[in-house]
Amino acid sequence: MTVESVKPESSGTTAPQEPPLAGGGVPLLGHGWKLARGPLAFLEQLRDHGDVVRLRLGPKTVYAVTAPELTGELALSPDYIISGPLWESLESLLGKEGVATANGPLHRRQRRTIQPAFRLDAIPAYGPVMEEEAYALVERWSRGEVLDATAEGFRVAVRISARCLMRGTYMDARSERITSALATLFAGMYQRMVLPLGPLYRVPIPANREFNRALADLHRLVDEIIAERRGSGQKPDDLLTALLEAKDENGDPIGEQEIHDQVVAILTPGSETAGSVVMSLLHVLTEHPDQVDKIRAEVKNVVGDRRVAFGDVRKLRHTANVVVETMRLYPAVWILTRRAVTDTELGGYRIPAGADIVYSPYAVQRDPRSFERNEEFDPDRWLPGHSAPVPKYAMSPFGVGNRKCPSDHFSMAELTLIAAVVASAFRFEPAPGSDHRTHIGITLRPRRLRLRALPG
Ligand code: HEM
């Protein structure tokens, strides 16, 4: 069955219908308990109930979109904005004035400010830092210690984003502090999203105190970074300078709060997402030693015996396909939400103004209607002409439309380089205590991956 064949008749003359209610709800909690207990399996089976389905989360009705083409329509339509539980929980971290949470004209202006730093032709300038950081991993791991993939993944992602986008040697020391603050914050954010217990998070128990300390430290760090850059009188060609020089729609400098929120909104989503993909990549290389061999052979062929350089990345096709296939099966961003700003329709179904809508890149990217051997890890499926064409929007780990991740090229370059460098140096095996089961938080990643890096 193709995706097209299950698409419902779309509007025109037919009045939009109420989407079907997903099965399996229970009194009071509705589908909330299933979403809390096993969100991935729950979101995946929703496709059996329809292309758009209604869920009950306690007293609230939420709409889930399961068909790839409708997730694209949702992301591209002006009838929906960034909002809903995911974003509300992130606002306490990201602020309301940063690009990831703003909407409307403010968001458009902010995208214009940050976009040049992520343009395809801007990426090669980041090459030396990406190379340095990828080789720093290999040098550290060569000491033979068991490596903690969670810490390593975060560290390299934070360091690359911070050093590339907010240049300066001061970043080297700070990126360790950012890493540690973010690890605490992301764990706490997810809990606050799925268990919105409001005032209870203000009770001064150790977990809340630790969360608040990490939040305060992150904001302090960002203020320090901004103050130091201003104090230096320097204006290197980077994202921080672009933010400090940005003007609002009247041509006036943007406010301090907006500068602060923008720095947080760029550093934090970038670190958590790219860090999670590094962790999943290490898991994949451990599970599939044949892929380590294939990457090595490709690197040998393209690069020879010298170090892998940033300039080699676009020739490392198989290595890039390993990264893409990793993101298909383990998308860091596994759930996204939107809110309808008007009474509207999607795929012939009625969506009322104010409704929260969720969709899951995880479920869409594992849909057997879109991918042959949908659960199988097969980077070769991305070779031209190798498999049936993938339906539009069925593979969108960076999102779609005006909220699409600005960092898609940046991240692909970084991840491909890391995959090439680490697979050329090591094979991996799980160390005692390693647990590769999926951890579901704000992002998706292996739970507690502890690996031994074996040279040769
Ligand atoms: C937005 C994924 C890396 C900065 C997004 C969205 C996705 C995503 C799916 C769209 C959210 C939506 O549609 O609601 C990823 C993945 C990454 C990655 C999978 C790594 C593999 C990064 C990095 C940065 C970054 C490294 C910055 C250094 C942002 C920002 C937004 C965003 C600022 C908000 C854009 C907007 O709302 O206009 N990301 N991201 N991301 N990402 Fe990424």
Known binding-site positions for heme: 405
Position in ligand 1 atom list of the atom nearest CA 404? 10
What confidence tens digit (pLDDT) does each residue in 37-60 have? 889 999 999 999 999 999 988 788
pLDDT at 48: 95
365 to 5, 168, 216, 325, 359: CA distances (angstroms) = 18, 38, 37, 10, 11
Identify the bridge partners of residue 62 per DSSP, sorted by sequence position.
55, 356
pLDDT at 143: 78
Identify the bridge partners of residue 451 per DSSP, sorted by sequence position.
147, 430
Which residue type, as a one-letter code, is found at position 307?
R
What confidence tens digit (pLDDT) does each residue in 291-309 have? 999 999 999 999 999 999 9
Averaged over 305-317, what is the pLDDT?
Answer: 96
pLDDT at 7: 40
Averaged over 326-336, what is the pLDDT?
Answer: 97
Establish whether residue 53 lines the binding site of ligand 1, counting it when its CB lies within 6 angstroms of any ligand atom. no
- pLDDT exceeds 60 at position 8: no
pLDDT at 406: 95
What confidence tens digit (pLDDT) does each residue in 374-433 have? 999 999 999 998 888 899 999 999 999 999 999 999 999 999 999 999 999 999 999 999
Rounded distance from Cα 6 to ligand 1 centre (Å): 30
Which residue type, as a one-letter code, is found at position 310?
F
- pLDDT exceeds 60 at position 9: no
pLDDT at 11: 46
355 vs 55: CA distance, rounded Å: 11
Mutate to test the pocket of ligand 1, among 405, 414, 416, 442 (most ligand atoms within 8 A of CB): 405
Using alpha carbons, select from 355, 374, 373 the residue that is nearest to residue 363. Answer: 374
What confidence tens digit (pLDDT) does each residue in 176-211 have? 788 888 888 887 877 776 666 778 888 999 989 999
Rounded distance from Cα 440 to ligand 1 centre (Å): 18
**pLDDT tier, 169 (very low <50, low <70, confident <90, very high otherwise):** low
Establish whether residue 411 lines the binding site of ligand 1, counting it when its CB lies within 6 angstroms of any ligand atom. yes
Question: 141, 147 in Cβ contact below 8 A?
Answer: yes
pLDDT at 425: 95
- pLDDT exceeds 80 at position 282: yes
Establish whether residue 406 lines the binding site of ligand 1, counting it when its CB lies within 6 angstroms of any ligand atom. yes
Rounded distance from Cα 435 to ligand 1 centre (Å): 27
Q: Report residue 283 as tokens.
A: 């898991």
- Between 185 and 341, name the one with better pLDDT: 341
Averaged over 78-82, what is the pLDDT?
Answer: 95
pLDDT at 101: 85
Position in ligand 1 atom list of the atom nearest CA 396? 9
- pLDDT exceeds 80 at position 289: yes
Averaged over 150-177, what is the pLDDT?
Answer: 83
- pLDDT exceeds 80 at position 28: no
Name the average pLDDT for the chain.
89
Nearest Cα residue to atom 25 of ligand 1 = 270
pLDDT at 10: 47
Helix axes 317-329, 289-303, angle to 10 degrees: 150
Averaged over 27-41, what is the pLDDT?
Answer: 81
Establish whether residue 277 lines the binding site of ligand 1, counting it when its CB lies within 6 angstroms of any ligand atom. yes
Nearest Cα residue to atom 1 of ligand 1 = 405
- Between 170 and 255, name the one with better pLDDT: 255
Establish whether residue 98 lines the binding site of ligand 1, counting it when its CB lies within 6 angstroms of any ligand atom. no
Position in ligand 1 atom list of the atom nearest CA 102? 37
Helices and strands, counts by H and E, the chain: 16, 12
Work out the percent of the chain whose per-residue pLDDT is above 90: 66
Rounded distance from Cα 13 to ligand 1 centre (Å): 38
Query: Does residue 50 come out as left (phi exceeding 0), alpha (psi in the -120 to 50 range) or beta?
Result: left
What confidence tens digit (pLDDT) does each residue in 358-377 have? 999 999 999 999 999 999 99
Establish whether residue 336 lines the binding site of ligand 1, counting it when its CB lies within 6 angstroms of any ligand atom. yes
Rounded distance from Cα 406 to ligand 1 centre (Å): 6
pLDDT at 13: 62
354 vs 80: CA distance, rounded Å: 9
- Between 128 and 99, name the one with better pLDDT: 128
**pLDDT tier, 29 (very low <50, low <70, confident <90, very high otherwise):** confident
- pLDDT exceeds 60 at position 5: no
- pLDDT exceeds 70 at position 6: no
Averaged over 91-98, what is the pLDDT?
Answer: 74
For the chain, domains (ranges, CATH) are: 3-455 (1.10.630.10)
**pLDDT tier, 170 (very low <50, low <70, confident <90, very high otherwise):** low
Establish whether residue 412 lines the binding site of ligand 1, counting it when its CB lies within 6 angstroms of any ligand atom. no
- pLDDT exceeds 60 at position 283: yes
Q: What's the chain's Rg over C-alpha atoms? A: 22
Rounded distance from Cα 298 to ligand 1 centre (Å): 29
The lowest-confidence range among 21-25, 51-55, 70-74 is 21-25
pLDDT at 2: 34
Work out the percent of the chain whose per-residue pLDDT is above 70: 94
